[in-house]
């Protein structure tokens, strides 16, 4: 009896582990296909073909492709948060140094920015309730960690200011990145460098923005509002 119980437990554990491995294979393949053929052309049939899975078998792991993308995005955000925790473990006295380091960090996570920028407009429209809910809970945890990293770097800002900083910098990145040279090159969108406002690199504009935001937040803190 006892041995039989252990055996079953072991099998269950192995099955759970097996399932996680499969899920990760699907996520990785989706990431690869994203680069090769783009979001629009990705289908369960295509993912299955590349993994020698049947389409039906894929449904054991994910209900639709948007659920896969939300999971991939969460993994990308987690990497960015870990990067922030490593980069900003102690107070940064010079604001310009912080701004430069933060901008460089964001540029190390371009796929995260690209995916994040279409979460509300694309992924959430097709995701299941369960994955949508799990995504929002996890996103909240990850951004709490990100706020902690910023508080460690900028201890002279209030909690509220740091929380607003994280939201504002992230929101701006979600619009600026898809308009940048970097994104357009990666997505093979024609770059009209000098037409209208022109198309520029991500960093100069993003750094300028962070400076304004931090000045505004410092003012707000000073006024005690």
Q: Can you give the binding site for its own copies, defined by CB under 8 A?
A: 38, 114, 117-118, 120-122, 124-125, 129, 132-133, 136-140, 143, 164, 168, 170-172, 174-176, 178-179, 183-184, 187, 189-190, 192, 195-197, 208-209, 211-220
Q: In this complex, which beta carbon is closest to its own copies, that of residue 4 or of residue 196?
A: 196
Q: In this complex, which beta carbon is closest to its own copies, that of residue 56 or of residue 195?
A: 195
Cα–Cα distance measured from residue 29 to residue 190, given in angstroms and rounded to the nearest whole number: 27
Q: To the nearest whole angstrom, how small is the minimum distance from the Cβ of residue 117 to its own copies?
A: 6
Q: In this complex, which beta carbon is closest to its own copies, that of residue 53 or of residue 80?
A: 80
Q: To the nearest whole angstrom, how small is the minimum distance from the Cβ of residue 175 to its own copies?
A: 4
Q: In this complex, which beta carbon is closest to its own copies, that of residue 18 or of residue 171?
A: 171
Q: To the nearest whole angstrom, how small is the minimum distance from the Cβ of residue 10 to its own copies?
A: 35
Q: To the nearest whole angstrom, how small is the minimum distance from the Cβ of residue 146 to its own copies?
A: 12
Q: In this complex, which beta carbon is closest to its own copies, that of residue 57 or of residue 158?
A: 158
């Amino acid at each position: 009896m006892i041995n039989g119980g252990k055996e079953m437990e072991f099998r269950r554990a192995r099955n759970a582990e097996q399932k996680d491995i499969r899920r990760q294979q699907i996520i990785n393949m989706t990431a690869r296909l994203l680069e090769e053929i783009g979001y629009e052309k990705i289908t369960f049939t295509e993912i299955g073909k590349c993994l020698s899975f049947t389409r039906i078998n894929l449904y054991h792991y994910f209900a639709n492709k948007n659920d896969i993308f939300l999971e991939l995005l969460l993994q990308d955000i987690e990497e960015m948060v870990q990067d922030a925790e490593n980069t900003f473990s102690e107070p940064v006295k010079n604001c310009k140094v912080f701004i430069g380091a933060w901008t460089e960090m964001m540029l190390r996570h371009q796929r995260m920015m690209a995916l994040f920028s279409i979460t509300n407009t694309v992924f959430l429209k097709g995701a299941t309730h369960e994955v949508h809910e799990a995504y929002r809970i996890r996103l909240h945890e990850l951004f709490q960690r990100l706020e902690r990293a910023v508080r460690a770097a900028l201890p002279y800002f209030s909690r509220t200011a740091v929380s607003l900083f994280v939201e504002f910098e992230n929101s701006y990145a979600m619009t600026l990145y898809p308009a940048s040279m970097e994104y357009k090159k990666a997505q093979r969108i024609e770059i009209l460098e000098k037409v209208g406002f022109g198309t520029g690199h991500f960093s100069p504009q993003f750094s300028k923005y962070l400076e304004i935001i931090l000045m505004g937040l410092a003012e707000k803190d000073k006024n005690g509002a």
